[in-house]
Structure 1
Amino acid sequence: MDSVNAERYMFNAMSGSSMIEVEAFQHMLVQCGASVVNATREWVANHYRWIVWKLACLERGYATQAGGKFLNVSNVLEELKYRYEREINLGHRSAIKKILEGNASPASMLVLCISAIRSSPTANHETEQSVEMCEDHQNMARRGTHSHVAIIELTDGWYLLNTLLDVELSKQLCSGKLFVGQKLRIWGAGLAGWVGPVSPLEASESVKLTIHINGTYRASWDDRLGFCKSPSVPLAFWCIKGYGGQVPRTLVGVERIYPILYKERFSDGSSVVRTRRMENEVLHLHNQRRSDIIEGIMAEQQKENFGLHCQSNSDSEEGAKLFKILEKAAEPEVLMADMSSEQLNSFATYQAKQEEIRQADMQKKIERALEDACLSTRQVIPFMKVKVVGLTSLCSRRKGHLREGLITIWDPTEKLKGDLVEGQAYSVAGLVPSNSNPDIIYLQARGSATVWKPLSPVALKNFEPFFTRRKAVLLSSLGEVPLASEFDIAAVVVYVGEVYISGNQKKQWVFVTDGSAWGSDFSEEFYNSLLAISFCLSNVDNYASAPVSHSLSGCIVGFSNLVKRARDQMNHLWVAEATENSTHTTCHNLSVNSHLKEAADIARKWAKDSVPSIQKLRERVLTIVGSSGS
C-alpha cells in the first residue's frame, strides 16, 4: 500500500457481506455528531487517505507486534473524529493549510514527508539545458515546462502539495537519495501558481511548492511534521551549490573587506562600476551640468516674463483687470493704497495663480531639457564585496584547503559597513549563490535582507584558524607572492603614465619602488626595484578622470588589494594589476594603525636619501614607456 491507493482501501465488514470504504466512514462520522457541511466526501477522503497510510506503515514497521491492531475500522474512525475536532471545532490548521490560505509564508522552515513521486527526469535530461530551464521555478511553472525536473508530492500529514524540485534535487531523486516516506526539512520554498487564498482540497493541481537544494535537508525520522520552532543548523559552506537557491544560514570567516563601489545603469542597458572617488567626481559633474541647464532656463523664463503678464482665461476676472490697470499706471503704489481689501485679495489671488502657471511651465521646460541632455535621475546603487572562507570544525574530517567565497552586498546599510570586520567569523542568513567553481563560489546579498551575526570568541575556538592578517609586502620579497594573489605595498611613485585607450578600456601605468631591493649589485637592483601597476577603466565611462593623478609622482603611496601578474621578463619589471577592489592612499592619509604605515615611513626615509637612484629609475621608465608607445 502507498499513499495514493490508500484512499481506495476498503475494510471487510463484520458481516462479511459488504466492504467499508470512504462513504461509510463519512456516514459514521456524521452519526457521531459531525456536520454534513464540513465533513464532506472530499474532506473525509483526504484525511482517510493519510490515516490509512500512516496506520498501514505502522503495521508494516511492527509486523510481529501489530497483527491488525493498528489498521482497523475503530482506529480510523477515532482518527477522523480527532481531526474533525482539531480542524473544524477548534480551528487548528496544518502547515500546508495555513500556507495555501495565505496566513503563513512558504519560505518558513517546515518538515514535510515525501508521499509520492509524480514525475522524475531521466538520466538523459540531466544536462546543462535542464539547468537553464530550472533557474526560475516561477517562470518555469508559468511556461509549463516541467519535463526536465522532478515533481513530487509532499504532505504535512493532513494535506498534500505537489512540489517542483530544482535540477540538483532532481538528480538526488534519480540517484535514490530522495524516496517516498522520507522527511525533509525545508526552508525558503516558494509557491508557483498561487494567486490568493485557496482550500488545500482545491489546490492539488493548480498550486505547486518550489524547493531548492540549498534550503532542503534530510530530516530525522522522528521529526514532527509541520512548522519548525527550533533554528536551522547552518549549512556547511562547502555544501552550498551554485544556483541552488537561497542559503538559510551558513558560517563564514571574513578574510578581506573591499571598498564601497558604485554601479550606474544607463538607459541603453549598459552599466559602469566606479570607485567612491570617481562616483563623487561624476556626481559633482552631473549636478553642475544640471544646475547650468536649470539656471539657463530660469534666466530665459525671467526675460520672457519681464514686463508681461501671462494670458489666461481669467483675464475677465477682477484680479486680471486690476493687474492691467496697475501695469499701465505711473504710480501703482498710490492706486494700491486706495484699493479695498476685496480688490487687494483679488489681485493677490491673480498674482499667485499666474506665478503657479509660470512655475509649472518652467518645471516642464526644465524636465524636458534635462531629459534631452541625458541628465535625468541617475540609477546608481552602492555595493561592496567581501571575501570569505568557510569555517571548518576542529573535529571535521575535511582538513586542508578551505573553500573561499566572494559575497557582493548590494546597498549595504551603514550599520553593516561598520559591523563587518576582517578576521571576524559570522553566522550569515539569506545569501543567494550564483555561479561557482571548485575554488570559489560567488554569492549575492542585500544589505537589509541579509543577517550577519558575529560568532563569540568561545564559539570560534571550535573551528580551525582561517585568518591571515594584512602585511606590507616589500619588492625584495615580491617573488614569494603567488601569481594572481592579492598583496599590499607602500612605495615611492616614480612615474605616472598617461591614460590611453586599449580595446574597450582606458588604461594607465604607474611605476613605483620602495628601495628594499637596492643593494651592492647595481644590475640586480634594476631587475627587482621597479613595480609596474596597471589601472583600467571602462571605456563606457566618459566622465571619469585618470585613476591616478600626476601630482602623486614622487609621493609615498600605500596600495591595497593589488593583484600580482606575470613578471615582465623583457623589461625586468614586477607587474601588478589594480582592480576595482584596489585602493591607494598617500602616506599622510594612512592611519596610525594601518599595516602600511611602517613600510611607508621606511620608504619615505629611503626616498629622501636616494634622489639620484630614483632619477635613474625614472629615466629607465621613460625608456620603457617610449619604446612601448604606451
Structure 2
Amino acid sequence: GAIAEAGTPGLEAARSLNVSLQHRGLDTTPPINWPVLPDQISGGASPSPTVPAGLTVGQRGSDSGCEDFEKLLLDAGARSQNASKPWVENHLQWICWKLAAKEAQHTKLKGKLRDADVVLDELKMRYEREVNRGQSSWLKRLLEQDVPASHAMVLRIAVGMKLRVCGSELQGQQQEALVAAKSTTLTLIANGVKRATLSSKLGQQRQRSVHLPLTAIDPAGGMVPQTDVVIQRKGPVLIWARAPDGSSYTTTQKGHAQALGRQEAHACQVSETVAAELQGEEAARCRRALTPLGKRKAAAGEELYAQALLSEGNGAGLGRLTDQQQHQLERYLFLVALHRFKEKRKAEMEAQQQKMLSQRLGAGGQAAGSPVMRLLVAPVIHKDVHPEKIIHAPWSVIRIWRPTDDIMHLSEGDVYSVSGLIPVERSGRGRTPLELSSGRTTCWERQQPTPASCLRWAFQPRVWLQLEQVLQQMPGSYIDCFGMAIGATAIQHPEHHTAQQFVFLVDQSVQRLNLQSKPKNDWMLGIRLTKSGDIMGFLELPNQSTAFCWFKSLRLSHFDMQNCICNLEVDSLTTGGVYKAPPRDQHLTDQKMQDLLAWSQAEEVLMQKLQGRVSSLI
C-alpha cells in the first residue's frame, strides 16, 4: 500500500528525535510490548495517515536524521549493501508513521514512543526479519517479481479500504523493490477484486482465489476466480464446426458426421477429376515432345519417358520399341538424368494438383469440429439476501469445450464450486444475460447439497407441462412439453448453414382453456426449430400432418395474444423429436402418450379446425 504525500511524516519526525542514546545489538528486543490496536479509531473512521498533533517535526532540507540512523544500524553490525540509505529512508518513514499513529490512538502512550531508541529497535527488527531471516513483505516480493501477481492477496489502498484481489497482472521490469515501485503497475481485473474486511491480514491469503457470486460477475471483467452454481439443466453435446468458406455453425454429432461424409465424397470426386485432367495434359505434352521440334528441345531421357508413357496409356507397354530403343531405354533407366526428370515432373504435377484442389474445394478444406456442451445454472444465494435488489432469476449458461468423462457425469440439481470461468460478452435482444466459457484452468468441485428451502433459486426438477401450464410461465423460462403436431412449415434457410422450421402443437388442455377464458381463437404452441439442438430428425418431416412430439428445455419467447400462440424457441440446451419410441423419462409415460393419441382421434372435428387455421397462418 501507499500513503498520501501529505500524510508522510517520513524523516521529519525522525530528525526531531534524540539519537545520542546507547547502541544495541541486532538481536536485542524492543523494551516496550506493543498493544494490539483495533482496525478503527473511535467513531468508525480509519486511521489518518497524517502526522498526529503534538509530534514535533524537524527542519526540512536536512538529511542528518537518516544518516544518523544509518550509521547506528551499521555500527550495530548491519551490512552496508543491505542497509543502504534508500532502505533506511523507506523503513524510517513507516516506523515514524506507525509510532505517531499509536500515540494518537492511545493517550497512555503519548510521549513514550517518540524516542530514538524505540525507532532504532524497530529498524533493527525489520533488518533482522527481512535480511537475516529472509521474511520480506508480500508487496516487496511482488515488486521484485519473486511471486506471481495472480495469487490471491489482500492489499490496502491509500484511502484505507482493503481489497482482496486475484488474477492480477504485474507490468514492469524485474528490479529492486524501491526502484520498481516508481514504474511498476499492478493491473486488476474487475471480477478478481472484492472488498475485504478491515480485520483481514494483508499479503498472501490461504484461500487461493476470490469468491464472486454469479450475480456480481461483470461480462467484461475478465476471468472469474471462483463462483458457486446450481445446475438447473444439462444440454446435449453439440459440435461447433467451421465450414470451408470460413463461417462457423453448431450442429449435432450426427449432423456433423453427415457433413464430413458429404465433404469427403465431394473431395474424392474432385480429386479424381483433377487427376484425370492432369493425366490428359501430361499425355499431350508427351506427344509434343515426340515431334521433330520437340525432340531437338527434349532433355536427357525426356523422349524415352514420353514414349514409355504413351505406350503404357494404350496398353502396349514397351513392346512397340525397337531392340535398339529397348536397350537404350534400359540404359537410361539407370541414369540419373531420367530419374531426376521423373521426380521433377512428379513434384510439379503434385503441386499443380494441390493448387487445383484448393481452388475447387476452397481454402478451408474439411470442416473441423469441437464438441461443446452447455449447462443452465443458477447462483447459490440465500433467499433472504437483498430481496429488494433481486428482481428476476439471473439464469446463466456455462459453455464447456471438449467435455471430459467427469464433466459428462455432472447431474442436474448438483451444487458445484467452479473456478477459472471466462465471461463471454454478448449483445442483442433475446439472448442469455450472461454466458461463461470454460478454459484450460477451469476446475469443478462438487459441494455438499444445500437444502432447497434455503436457496432463492433452488433446483427445479423437470416437469412435463401442458398448454394451459405453459401460459402460466414467465418469458425466458425453460420448459419441457409434449403434444400433437397439427402442422409445420417448410424448411427455410435464412442464413448460411442454418435451417429453421415452425411447428404447431396442441394437447387436451386446449378445451379447458376455451371453457375458462373463451379466447378469440384456440391456443396453440408455436415452436421455432433450428439446427441447433438434437432435433435434426424432425426437420426431415415437413409434411407430417399429425405426429406426437416431445421437447426438453424449450425457451419460452413470448405470447402472441392476437393469434393465441405461445412462441417457444429451440436453444442449445434443447433435445426432442418425433414420437417413434417412448423416451426414457419417468414423468412421460406411455399412458400419457396413449391418452393424447386417443384424444386427438376423438376430437377429429377440432383437429381439422386447428389444422385449417395453421394452414392459413402458414
TM-score after normalising by structure 1: 0.70
What's the CA shift for 1:482?
3.7
1:172 match? none
Distance in 1 (alpha carbons) for counterparts of 2:266 and 2:420? 41
1:13 maps to 2:18: yes
Letter matched to residue 508 of structure 1: Q
What's the CA shift for 1:79?
4.0
Distance in 2 (alpha carbons) for counterparts of 1:251 and 1:183? 24
1:514 match? 507
2:357 match? 366
Distance in 2 (alpha carbons) for counterparts of 1:33 and 1:299? 91
Letter matched to residue 403 of structure 2: T
2:542 match? 550
What is the aligned residue count? 548
Structure 1 residues 297 and 517, CA gap change in structure 2 (3 angstroms): same
Contact 1:101–1:199 (8 Å) recurs in 2: yes
Letter matched to residue 415 of structure 1: D
Q: 2:281 aligns with which of 301, 304, 312?
A: 304
Letter matched to residue 187 of structure 1: C
Contact 1:494–1:614 (8 Å) recurs in 2: no
Q: Which has the larger radius of gyration?
A: 2
Q: What is the DSSP-based 3-state SS (H/G/I as helix, E as strand, rest coil) of the residue aligned with 1:386?
A: strand
1:124 match? none
Distance in 1 (alpha carbons) for counterparts of 2:456 and 2:197? 28
What's the CA shift for 1:274?
4.8
What's the CA shift for 1:106?
1.3
Letter matched to residue 194 of structure 2: Y
Contact 2:151–2:208 (8 Å) recurs in 1: no
Contact 2:102–2:109 (8 Å) recurs in 1: no
Contact 2:379–2:457 (8 Å) recurs in 1: no
CA deviation vs aligned residue, 1:196-245 (integer Å, no higher than 9, x gap): 42332233343211224542334344544322123457334444455444
Distance in 1 (alpha carbons) for counterparts of 2:475 and 2:199? 52
Q: 1:254 aligns with which of 231, 236, 242?
A: 231
Distance in 1 (alpha carbons) for counterparts of 2:243 and 2:336? 49
What's the CA shift for 1:108?
0.7
In structure 2, stretches of 5+ residues that fail to align are: 21-57, 290-296, 312-316
CA deviation vs aligned residue, 1:76-120 (integer Å, no higher than 9, x gap): 434444444554455555433443444432111012222x3xxxx
Structure 1 residues 357 and 516, CA gap change in structure 2 (3 angstroms): same
What's the CA shift for 1:66?
5.6
Moved more, 482-491 or 213-222: 213-222
What are the equivalent positions in structure 2 for 1:38-49 lying under 5 Å apart?
38-49=82-93
CA deviation vs aligned residue, 1:138-178 (integer Å, no higher than 9, x gap): xxxxxxxxxxxxxxxxxxxxxxxxxxxxxxxxxxxxxxxxx
Q: 1:533 aligns with which of 527, 535, 541?
A: 527
What are the equivalent positions in structure 2 for 1:343-358 lying under 5 Å apart?
343=334, 351-352=342-343, 354-358=345-349
What's the CA shift for 1:295?
3.6
What's the CA shift for 1:422?
1.3
Moved more, 299-308 or 484-493: 299-308
Distance in 1 (alpha carbons) for counterparts of 2:207 and 2:563? 63
2:461 match? 469
What are the equivalent positions in structure 2 for 1:261-300 lying under 5 Å apart?
261=238, 274=251, 279-280=256-257, 282-300=259-277
Distance in 2 (alpha carbons) for counterparts of 1:339 and 1:394? 93
Contact 1:298–1:362 (8 Å) recurs in 2: yes
2:379 match? 390
CA deviation vs aligned residue, 1:466-504 (integer Å, no higher than 9, x gap): 112111112354433344433211222222212457899
Distance in 1 (alpha carbons) for counterparts of 2:519 and 2:322? 87
In structure 1, stretches of 5+ residues that fail to align are: 117-178, 539-543
Contact 1:416–1:447 (8 Å) recurs in 2: no
Contact 1:495–1:618 (8 Å) recurs in 2: no
Structure 1 residues 512 and 220, CA gap change in structure 2 (3 angstroms): closer
Letter matched to residue 346 of structure 2: E
CA deviation vs aligned residue, 1:416-444 (integer Å, no higher than 9, x gap): 6413321111112223455899x985142
Contact 2:260–2:366 (8 Å) recurs in 1: no
Contact 2:468–2:513 (8 Å) recurs in 1: no
Contact 2:240–2:248 (8 Å) recurs in 1: yes
1:107 maps to 2:150: yes
Contact 1:263–1:274 (8 Å) recurs in 2: yes
Q: 2:575 aligns with which of 583, 601, 611?
A: 583
2:36 match? none
Distance in 1 (alpha carbons) for counterparts of 2:446 and 2:454? 14
Q: 2:202 aligns with which of 218, 225, 233?
A: 225
1:185 maps to 2:164: yes
Q: 1:206 aligns with which of 183, 188, 193?
A: 183
Moved more, 341-350 or 571-580: 341-350
Identity of aligned residues (%): 24
Structure 1 residues 361 and 55, CA gap change in structure 2 (3 angstroms): farther
Distance in 1 (alpha carbons) for counterparts of 2:346 and 2:134? 63
Q: What is the DSSP-based 3-state SS (H/G/I as helix, E as strand, rest coil) of the residue aligned with 2:554?
A: strand
Moved more, 105-114 or 493-502: 493-502
Contact 1:496–1:548 (8 Å) recurs in 2: no
Q: 2:109 aligns with which of 39, 42, 65?
A: 65
Q: What is the DSSP-based 3-state SS (H/G/I as helix, E as strand, rest coil) of the residue aligned with 2:150?
A: coil
1:420 match? 410
Q: 1:55 aligns with which of 99, 109, 130?
A: 99
1:128 match? none
Contact 1:492–1:557 (8 Å) recurs in 2: yes
Contact 2:166–2:210 (8 Å) recurs in 1: no
Q: What is the DSSP-based 3-state SS (H/G/I as helix, E as strand, rest coil) of the residue aligned with 1:498?
A: coil
CA deviation vs aligned residue, 1:560-595 (integer Å, no higher than 9, x gap): 222345555555554433345433223346542354
Q: What is the DSSP-based 3-state SS (H/G/I as helix, E as strand, rest coil) of the residue aligned with 2:465?
A: coil
Distance in 1 (alpha carbons) for counterparts of 2:281 and 2:613? 62
Q: What is the DSSP-based 3-state SS (H/G/I as helix, E as strand, rest coil) of the residue aligned with 1:201?
A: helix
Structure 1 residues 548 and 467, CA gap change in structure 2 (3 angstroms): farther
Moved more, 278-287 or 21-30: 278-287
Distance in 2 (alpha carbons) for counterparts of 1:369 and 1:612? 57
1:145 match? none
CA deviation vs aligned residue, 1:301-336 (integer Å, no higher than 9, x gap): 33334586899xxx9999879857966893599969
2:318 match? 330
Distance in 1 (alpha carbons) for counterparts of 2:340 and 2:124? 77
2:193 match? 216
Letter matched to residue 330 of structure 1: L
Contact 2:241–2:367 (8 Å) recurs in 1: yes
Moved more, 264-273 or 617-626: 264-273
Distance in 1 (alpha carbons) for counterparts of 2:197 and 2:548? 61
Aligned CA RMSD, in angstroms, stands at 4.9
What's the CA shift for 1:2?
5.5
Distance in 2 (alpha carbons) for counterparts of 1:239 and 1:425? 18
Distance in 2 (alpha carbons) for counterparts of 1:573 and 1:402? 24
What's the CA shift for 1:398?
5.4
Contact 2:503–2:526 (8 Å) recurs in 1: yes
Contact 2:232–2:413 (8 Å) recurs in 1: yes
What are the equivalent positions in structure 2 for 1:371-450 lying under 5 Å apart?
371=362, 375-376=364-365, 383-393=372-382, 403-415=393-405, 417-433=407-423, 442-450=434-442
TM-score after normalising by structure 2: 0.71
Structure 1 residues 615 and 550, CA gap change in structure 2 (3 angstroms): farther
CA deviation vs aligned residue, 1:52-92 (integer Å, no higher than 9, x gap): 333333333334236433x5433443444444455445555
What's the CA shift for 1:405?
3.0
